A and B are shown apart, each in its own frame.
Chain A
Amino acid sequence: MSIIISTIQKCCVKSLEEKLLALSLTSTTQIREKHKLNPPPRLRNPTWFTKQNRVVKEEFLTHENKEFLREIVQDKVVESESKLPVVSPKEWNDKLQRTGVIARKVGIYPMWLKDGTRIQTTLLQVLDNHVIRYYTPEEYDPPRKQVGGIKNKKGCLLLGAESADPSEFTKEYCGLFRESGVIPKRVLSRFFVSPDAVLPLGTQVNVLHFQVGNVVDVRGKTVDRGFQGVMKRHGFKGMPASHGVTKTHRKGGCIGGGGEKGRVWPGTKMPGHMGNRHRIQKGLKILRINTKYNIMWVSGQAIAGETNSIVTIYDTKLPLRKPTNPVPFPTYIGEIDSTIPEDIYDEQVHMFNDPTISYDEK
């Protein structure tokens, strides 16, 4: 027995020695800046970030088989539409955060107010938003951890928009939609909501989620302008065109001083990639809603992105412009039918078929 123990001990000691030797070997060959070469993973992609589009190959299907596949997709669409989740209305208060929606920037055109002033409006088409998934506050693992405790933890609601043929997506991507039973969508977006504002999976959110006269924030991706110089990117003046200037007409010039500050300061404006960044335009008023085409008219013309680009709309974060009257909570419940007018205008806005404006003598 003792022999066995001693042999085991010997073995252990031997292996330990080997390990130590190996350790000592590695510790002697020092690698500088090792922490930079292999940084700890800080950013983790959310679970719904998977490869979206499948590589489409020619499958040599017969016409009948193609028809059959189309029929299956059609059946799935019908099936997904038949299941309507039950949403129960709740009491709203201004501490609660509702979900936002995915929309498309459709264009810009002017409207007039009742006092005759002209304003620019942006048209946003709310797409076929469906709830895909919900992550409870404990469950949701943010890509970037926040330091310190968070009060009023928010859950995360995953919304999808723009239904498409499932065959254009990967299997993995289609799997995201299995739980909710919704047909796979092209666009996904997450919204933080109060746990009270949770919507059951598969719920549709339409334009009546918002009300005319309320204020929203709109997030879009700015126009991608590629690598640009300082004149275009930061509005520098450039250098003179003549008077002995050579080869420096559109350059930025000096980028730092000497002496104690003899280096390039962080944040110095230099050439680089311009655009293709998410920007939020805050405090835009909803002036008009069209329930037939799910369109809302929002004040201003500076929402980021080209026409036909995807944007997301949220209730405003601006403290003084939050709604005072109750809003549909957790969302608008019920169908859009004939009882609801096609066009809902804000009280300030002049309707196009209203009589011509005239100013009365005071």
Chain B
Amino acid sequence: MFSSLYPFYMVFRVKMFLNIRNGLSVATNSSKVIRQLCTKAAAFENVTNNKQSNESSKNNVVDYRHIYPEFLPDPKPEFRNVLREKLERSDMIARRTQIQIPEFYVGSILAVTSSDKHTPGKNNRFVGICIDREGCGLRATFILRNVIEQQGVEVKFELYDPTLHKIEVLRLEKRLDDKLFYLRDALPQYSTFDPNMEPELLPGGSTVPVNNLKVKLKPKPWLERWERQNLQGVEDLGLPEKFYIRAKELEKPWEKYDLMKDYMKTIPEEEQTEIFSEVQSHLHKLEVTRKQMKRKRVFVKPSKLA
């Protein structure tokens, strides 16, 4: 349907790109792209095949795009500048020498310790589930949500804010959706987390688990029309038929086949590898020094007062 929209030579330009959103790598050559044009089914096959092959090759530089998504610049062509991106990355790495920013995803449970201007001399610790992660470079932010004393609280943090002392991952997992804003309309038990929670360790070398939890929403009114957003992590909404009919009308099922749209929204794979191979050595060095420091740390016997 879109072969009529875009001239054929454009298709050749799009021969290699990565889809960050879905976390799938579509490394197809031009002939494959043409095949994709012919049949939708073939496209699906390609994607799934590549996904499997990708999982097997862990620790690839390409995997860094899930672990460190903020190192990729804004793909908007009018904002791009190679020199600025380079300096921004070096500043990010400079900040990372002071704080360990771990791998986390939307759906992971984090604890953030930060110093607060309003309570001098004390550190503030906030535990919650990450419901959103966005922005690139030094602008990267994430939102934590928790229910404290029957009151839903959300705090937005900047990843590179120099007042953050520590970012801990208490439970590393993914959810079925990219954004969990629907937790605002869900029953409070789904976003209640113990502030004194112990970090749960994953066995080494294992992949990040996906939590298939289906959340039950409160009855309407809601903050957004969730039935229109094709959410995976939500139980049956129990709405009258007309809501689903309307949602069906407003659906845009063709967008996932829009190669140009994806191309404009993502950084090409070649550039990604370039960026991450530049960053990789620094990140690796940081990791090594951190491990050394950990080993050096002397065990302090806890005193009775503590």
Let me know if A361 and B121 touch, CB within 8 A.
Answer: yes
Contact check, A107 vs B84: say whether CB atoms are below 8 A apart: yes
Whether a CB of chain A sits under 8 angstroms from the CB of B35 is: no
Query: Which residues on B sit within 8 Å (CB–CB) of A116?
Result: 115, 117, 161-163
Q: Which residues of A contact B94 (CB under 8 A)?
A: 351-353
CA distance A123 to B162 in the complex (A): 20
Interface residues as binary, A268-300 with B (CB distance below 8 Å gives 1, 0 otherwise): 000000000000000000000010010100000
**What's the nearest-Cβ distance from chain A to residue B85, in Å?**
8
Q: Would you call B162 and A295 a contact (CB within 8 A)?
A: no
Contact A307 B79, beta carbon cutoff 8 Å: yes
Q: Give the interface segment out of B95-103, B195-203, B230-238, B260-268.
A: B95-103
Known: A110-B138, A306-B78, A356-B98. A293 touches B164 (CB 8 A): no
Q: Mark A339-362, 1 if CB is under 8 A from B, else 0.
A: 000000000001111111111111
* In contact, B78 and A307 (Cβ under 8 angstroms): yes
Say yes or no for A168: interface residue by CB 8 A criterion. no
A115 contacts partner chain B, Cβ-Cβ < 8 Å: yes
Q: Is B165 an interface residue (CB 8 A)?
A: yes
For the complex, give the distance between the alpha carbons of A305 and B121 in Å: 44
> Which B residues lie within 8 Å of A306 (CB)?
78
Taking the complex as formed, is B177 at the interface, i.e. its CB lies under 8 A from any CB of chain A? no
**Interchain CB contact under 8 A, B120 and A356:** no
Contact A106 B162 (CB under 8 A): no
Whether A118 pairs with B87 at a CB distance below 8 angstroms is: no
Q: Does A92 contact B (CB under 8 A)?
A: no
Q: Which of B159-180 contact A (CB under 8 A)?
A: 160-165
Chain A 306-338 interface mask (CB, 8 Å, partner B; 1/0)? 111000000000000000000000000000000
The answer to whether B162 touches A353, judged by C-beta atoms less than 8 angstroms apart, is no
Cβ contacts under 8 Å, A361 to chain B: 120-121
In the complex, are the beta carbons of A352 and B91 less than 8 A apart? yes
Say whether B139 faces chain A, with CB atoms less than 8 Å apart. Answer: yes
Residue A135 at the chain B interface, CB threshold 8 Å: no
Cβ of A125 within 8 Å of any chain B Cβ, yes or no, is yes
Residues in B109-141 with C-beta less than 8 Å from chain A: 115-117, 119-121, 123, 137-139
Inter-chain contact B137/A109, CB cutoff 8 Å:
yes
Query: In the assembly, what is the distance between CA of A84 and CA of B91, in Å?
Result: 35
Q: Establish whether residues A110 and B139, one from each chain, have CB atoms under 8 Å apart when the complex forms.
A: yes
Find out whether the CB atom of A308 lies under 8 angstroms from the CB atom of B81: yes
Least CB distance from B123 to A in Å reads 7
With contacts A116-B117, A118-B158 taken as known, whether A109 is within 8 angstroms of B139 at the C-beta atoms is yes
Kindly identify, within residues 95 to 111 of chain A, every residue whose CB is under 8 Å from any CB belonging to chain B: 106-107, 109-111
B239 in the interface (beta carbon within 8 A): no
Docked complex Cα distance between A123 and B138 (Å): 14
CB-nearest residue of chain B to A361: B121
The bracket for how many chain A residues form the interface is 20 to 34
**Is chain A's interface secondary structure helix, strand, loop, or mixed overall?**
loop
Tell me which residues from 35 to 82 in chain B have a Cβ below 8 Å from any Cβ of chain A. 78-81
Q: Once the chains bind, are B87 and A352 in contact (CB under 8 Å)?
A: no
B250 contacts A by Cβ under 8 Å: no
Q: CB-CB contacts of A109-134 with B at 8 A, as 1s and 0s? A: 11110011010000101000000000
Nearest A residue to B76 via CB reads: A307
When A109-B137, A110-B138, A356-B163 are in contact, do A295 and B78 touch as well, CB less than 8 Å? no
Check A356/B164 contact, CB under 8 A, given A106-B81, A361-B120: yes
Determine if A350 and B79 form an interchain contact, defined as CB atoms under 8 angstroms apart: no
- A355 and B83 form a contact (CB under 8 A): no
Docked Cα-Cα span, A107 to B115, in Å, equals 30
Q: Is the CB of A359 within 8 A of B79?
A: no
Contact (Cβ within 8 A) B83 A295 = yes
Asked if B88 is at the interface (CB within 8 A of a chain A CB), the reply is: yes
Interfacial chain A residues near B119, Cβ < 8 Å: 359
CB distance from A50 to the nearest CB of B (A): 30
Is A358 within 8 A of B165, CB to CB? yes
Nearest residue (CB) in A for B84 is A107
Q: How distant is A122 from chain B, measured CB to nearest CB, in Å?
A: 10
Q: Mark B223-243, 1 if CB is under 8 A from A, else 0.
A: 000000000000000000000
Contacts of A360 in B (CB 8 A): 120-121
Among A109, A112, A353, A357, the residue within 8 A (CB) of B115 is: A357
Given the contacts A109-B139, A110-B139, A293-B87, A356 and B121 also touching, CB distance less than 8 Å: no
Q: A293, A307, A358: which has the most chain B beta carbons within 10 Å?
A: A358
Q: Which of B85, B91, B164 has the most CB of A within 10 A?
A: B91
Pair B79/A357 contact, Cβ less than 8 Å: no
Q: Name which of B80, B87, B139 has the most chain A CB atoms within 10 A of its CB.
A: B87
Distance in angstroms between the alpha carbons of A339 and B78 in the assembled complex: 37
Does A358 contact B164, Cβ atoms closer than 8 Å?
no
The 26 sampled A-B contact pairs (Cβ below 8 Å) are A107-B85, A109-B88, A109-B91, A109-B137, A110-B138, A112-B163, A115-B117, A116-B117, A116-B163, A118-B158, A293-B87, A307-B79, A307-B80, A350-B162, A352-B162, A354-B98, A355-B98, A356-B98, A357-B115, A357-B162, A358-B123, A358-B165, A359-B116, A359-B119, A360-B120, A361-B120
Chain A residues close to B by CB (< 8 Å): 106-107, 109-112, 115-116, 118, 123, 125, 290, 293, 295, 306-308, 350-362
Taking A116-B162, A123-B84, A352-B91 as given, write out 9 further A-B residue pairs in contact, using a Cβ cutoff of 8 Å, ordered by the A residue number: A107-B79, A109-B139, A112-B163, A116-B115, A293-B87, A295-B83, A307-B78, A356-B98, A357-B115
The 8 closest A-B pairs by CB, nearest first: A361-B121, A107-B84, A352-B94, A359-B120, A353-B94, A358-B115, A352-B91, A106-B84
